């Protein structure tokens, strides 16, 4: 008898199980549109040249050691990335009302944020969009939140935002709820509110005194422009909300496995910051003590060097424009083949993902018969497409849609 005997098997993590199934597949023309990671035109992962450059310099720098970083991370990193997201002229920075905490990528930032909200501020209910990134729920629940609620977001019929539904659900939120908002390039739908719609959403958040958590994993990656993709965050901060912003540098720096993230905390009373920081310090000390240095040093090095910063912005533009090209290529091919349905949403959505509207049956058909891997929800990673496979994928989608026609909505 073992103390472990009664452990139940947990469900697989869909996105990683899909990567494994893809890797194990021996079919030569297989295509992975699952996990959200950038691929070049040749279908290969991309270590950004500016990252390699920084890494070489860092490796040669004899002054850098492997001593522990402070619990809240590398100051030069947190200051640079906080400025990057809030903007050079942010009133919150000017008034010393904002600070950053280095975290283990966006997921780590979400977890530290959720720990603080639940343990220090006593929040127990959180709202996620329907649908959302599947990990939001697990992260918040593991951090001590009891109740997960959803707000309507995606309207299947119009393949766009259900603004009225979203506002209504947030208006019905119980007091002291946290609402997770995707700051740009909503995952999985690739559909963002317009500035006018954000204004209405912010009005309800204010009226109901909800606590907004802004999740930003794609700054720069979505539109190719860092300021553009930070619009929502700056709007909320400049409107005076207290908030926490969860930044990831997985996609825009291509630092997926380095786990580089930052949690920006914006408060109205700067005098509270010393105490707030001390509680964050205890939360992190109790979880992983202090963060790793490598990825944060790379980002800090690039952002604190004007020439490298510009090089990085060019790399972001390369990635963003390749995604846009692939959106057009996929839509064109589907329309050329006369694939049943409308496909304009593929080019109107933004960011890494497209929410295709494919049903679960069609998705299974794509995986099993065509070796095209995508999430059950119909989400595809646009970066998995390139000039050599886009026609193949479009034909496969055509076949799936024809074999399993969609019910009229």
Residue 254 binds ligand LMR, judged by CB under 6 A: no
Q: How far is the CB of 137 from ligand LMR (least distance, A)?
A: 13
Residue 21 binds ligand LMR, judged by CB under 6 A: no
Q: How far is the CB of 319 from ligand LMR (least distance, A)?
A: 15
Q: Which of 154, 251, 312, 343 is catalytic?
A: 251
**Residues 6 or more apart in contact with residue 58 via CB below 8 angstroms:** 64, 294, 297, 298, 301
Q: Which of 53, 215, 312, 343 is catalytic?
A: 215
Q: How far is the CB of 373 from ligand LMR (least distance, A)?
A: 12
CB-based burial of residue 175 (10 Å sphere; 0-12 exposed, 13-18 middle, 19+ buried)?
Answer: exposed
Residue 187 binds ligand LMR, judged by CB under 6 A: yes
Select the residue interacting with ligand LMR from 21, 35, 58, 273 (CB under 6 A). Answer: 35
DSSP-derived secondary structure letter, 117: I
Q: Which residue has its beta carbon closest to ligand LMR?
A: 36
- Looking at the Cβ atoms of 135 and 290, the one nearer to ligand LMR is 135
Count of residues binding ligand LMR (CB under 6 A)? 6
Q: How far is the CB of 250 from ligand LMR (least distance, A)?
A: 7
> Is the omega angle on the peptide bond into residue 330 within 30 degrees of 0, that is, cis?
no
CA angle 213/219/224 to nearest 5° reads 155
Q: Which of 229, 228, 251 is nearest to 383 (CA)?
A: 251
Most distant CA atoms of the chain, gap in Å: 65
Rounded distance, CA 193 to CA 310, Å? Answer: 29
- Looking at the Cβ atoms of 85 and 104, the one nearer to ligand LMR is 104
Question: What pairs with residue 247 in β-bridges?
Answer: 216, 262
**Residues 6 or more apart in contact with residue 190 via CB below 8 angstroms:** 349, 350, 351, 352, 353, 354, 355
Select the residue interacting with ligand LMR from 30, 32, 36, 38 (CB under 6 A). Answer: 36
Q: How far is the CB of 352 from ligand LMR (least distance, A)?
A: 8
Main-chain phi, psi angles of 3, to 5 degrees: -65, -15
Rounded distance, CA 104 to CA 289, Å? Answer: 12
**Residues 6 or more apart in contact with residue 267 via CB below 8 angstroms:** 97, 98, 242, 273, 276
- Looking at the Cβ atoms of 78 and 105, the one nearer to ligand LMR is 105
Q: How far is the CB of 286 from ligand LMR (least distance, A)?
A: 24
Reply yes or no on whether 215 is catalytic.
Answer: yes
- Looking at the Cβ atoms of 252 and 339, the one nearer to ligand LMR is 252
User: What is the helix (H) or strand (E) element at residue 336, kind and residue range?
Assistant: helix 306-336
- Looking at the Cβ atoms of 15 and 273, the one nearer to ligand LMR is 15
Q: How far is the CB of 384 from ligand LMR (least distance, A)?
A: 11
- Looking at the Cβ atoms of 15 and 155, the one nearer to ligand LMR is 15
Q: Which of 156, 130, 162, 154 is nearest to 409 (CA)?
A: 156
Q: Which of 30, 46, 53, 133 is catalytic?
A: 133
Select the residue interacting with ligand LMR from 133, 151, 253, 343 (CB under 6 A). Answer: 133
Select the residue interacting with ligand LMR from 15, 167, 273, 324 (CB under 6 A). Answer: 15
> Strands 177-182 and 211-216, how do they pair?
parallel
Rounded distance, CA 64 to CA 308, Å? Answer: 20
- Looking at the Cβ atoms of 36 and 291, the one nearer to ligand LMR is 36
Please give the residue ranges that form the binding site for ligand LMR (CB under 6 A).
15, 35-36, 133, 135, 187
Q: Which residues are catalytic, by number? A: 133, 215, 251
């Amino acid at each position: 008898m073992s103390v472990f005997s009664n452990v139940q098997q947990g469900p697989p993590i869909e996105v990683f199980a899909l990567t494994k199934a893809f890797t194990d597949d021996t079919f030569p023309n297989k295509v992975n549109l699952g996990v959200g990671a950038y691929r070049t035109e040749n279908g290969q992962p991309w270590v950004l040249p500016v990252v390699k450059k920084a890494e070489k310099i860092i490796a040669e720098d004899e002054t850098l050691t492997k001593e522990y970083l402070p619990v809240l991370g590398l100051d030069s990193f947190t200051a640079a990335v906080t400025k990057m997201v809030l903007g050079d002229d942010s009133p919150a920075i000017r008034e010393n009302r904002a600070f950053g905490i280095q975290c283990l990528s966006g997921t780590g930032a979400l977890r530290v944020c959720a720990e603080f909200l639940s343990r220090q501020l006593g929040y127990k209910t959180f709202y996620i969009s329907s649908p959302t990134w599947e990990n939001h729920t697990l992260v918040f629940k593991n951090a001590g939140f009891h109740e997960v609620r959803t707000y309507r977001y995606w309207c299947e019929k119009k393949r766009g935002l259900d603004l009225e539904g979203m506002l209504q659900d947030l208006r019905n939120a119980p007091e002291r709820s946290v609402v997770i908002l995707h700051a740009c390039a909503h995952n999985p739908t690739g559909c963002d509110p317009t500035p006018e719609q954000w204004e209405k959403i912010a009005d309800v958040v204010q009226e109901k005194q909800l606590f907004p958590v802004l999740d930003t994993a794609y700054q720069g990656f979505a539109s190719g422009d860092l300021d553009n993709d930070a619009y929502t965050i700056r709007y909320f901060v400049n409107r005076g909300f207290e908030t926490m912003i969860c930044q990831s540098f997985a996609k825009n720096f291509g630092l997926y496995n380095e786990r580089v993230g930052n949690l920006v905390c914006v408060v109205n009373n700067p005098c509270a910051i010393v105490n707030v920081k001390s509680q964050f310090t205890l939360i992190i000390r109790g979880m992983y003590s202090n963060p790793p240095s490598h990825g944060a040093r790379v980002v800090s090095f690039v952002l604190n060097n004007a020439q490298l910063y510009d090089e990085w912005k060019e790399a972001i533009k390369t990635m963003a424009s390749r995604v846009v090209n692939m959106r057009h290529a996929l839509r064109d091919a589907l329309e050329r083949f006369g694939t049943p349905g409308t496909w304009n949403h593929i080019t109107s959505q933004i960011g890494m993902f497209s929410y295709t509207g494919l049903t679960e049956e069609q998705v299974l058909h794509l995986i099993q018969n065509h070796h095209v891997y995508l999430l059950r929800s119909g989400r595809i990673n646009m970066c998995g497409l390139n000039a050599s496979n886009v026609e193949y994928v479009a034909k496969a989608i055509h076949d799936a849609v024809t074999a399993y026609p969609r019910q009229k909505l």
